[in-house]
Structure 1
Amino acid sequence: MRTLLVYILLVSTLLPTVSQWGTIAYYHANKEYIARVLCENRDKPQLHCDGHCFLAKRLKAQQEKQDQETTERVQHIPTLQLFCQSHVPFAFGASVTDLPLAGLPKYLLHAYAAPLDGLLQPPQA
């Protein structure tokens, strides 16, 4: 069951890349029909187009479609803000009354003030 899921995910991620190869394979499989019926330059045999114009048009259309889908997908991605700015400023030796507390949630009302003594002093020998 896991291997089946792995293969399905692998194929789904590689499908946009493989789709161009599918177009090229279709061209090579039906080269004579394309050169005889679908080629724009079939009336000019001296150009030796042999359906390359058809292949180029199909590949270009496929690329434009993928670009358009990617652009639409990127434009509709919701943004997620991962970090927010702290509302409580940190101050050494500051008291709670010195900080602007209006409009803060209850869990932010108790600001931390670092003690001034014993902070960043070398150990006593």
Structure 2
Amino acid sequence: MKNALVYILLVATLLPSISPWGTIAYYHANKDYIARVLCQNRDKPMLHCDGQCYLAKRLKAQQDKQDKETTQRVQNSPVVQLFCQANLLFQFRQTWPVLDSVVFSAYRFPSYAAPVTGLFHPPQV
């Protein structure tokens, strides 16, 4: 049962990328019928179109349909914002008359200085 589910999901996932190959296989399987009935240039045999115009139109229509569906899917998809920039610097004033001109910060980030001489050196052989 699990194997069948895996194959069904695999085919469903790969179907959009395989569909042009299905159109090409259909063309090759029915090449004579397409050349006789559906070809635009069936009245002009010297062009040797053999239904390739029909195949090109079908592939173009399929690509346009896929592009339209993708555009609609992107436009209709909800936007989820995963990250937000936090304002880490909160400033407030004390109401004491002596400290009116002093601004306090809720967070202070100390500067970090890595030991440069210990990190960057050529490899020891």
2:52 maps to 52
- Normalising to structure 1: TM-score of the pair? 0.70
The DSSP-based 3-state class of the residue aligned with 1:84 is coil
- Normalising to structure 2: TM-score of the pair? 0.70
The DSSP-based 3-state class of the residue aligned with 1:43 is coil
- Identity percentage over the alignment? 68
Alignment of 1:11-30 (within 5 A): 11-30=11-30
Deviates more, 1:2-11 or 1:64-73: 2-11
2:88 and 2:107 in contact (8 A); partners too: no
Distance 1:112 1:2, change over 3 A: farther
2:42 maps to 42
RMSD of aligned residue pairs (Cα, Å): 2.5
Summarize deviations over 1:71-124 as a string: whole Å, max 9, x none: 11011111111122324527xxxxxxx548xxxxxxxxxx9657x9xxx8xxxx
1:88 and 1:99 in contact (8 A); partners too: no
1:35 and 1:42 in contact (8 A); partners too: yes
Count residues in correspondence: 101
Distance 1:37 1:113, change over 3 A: closer
Task: Name segments (4+ residues, structure 1) moved above 6 Å.
Answer: none
Partner AA of 1:56 in structure 2: A
1:74 aligns with 2:87: no
Partner AA of 1:10 in structure 2: L
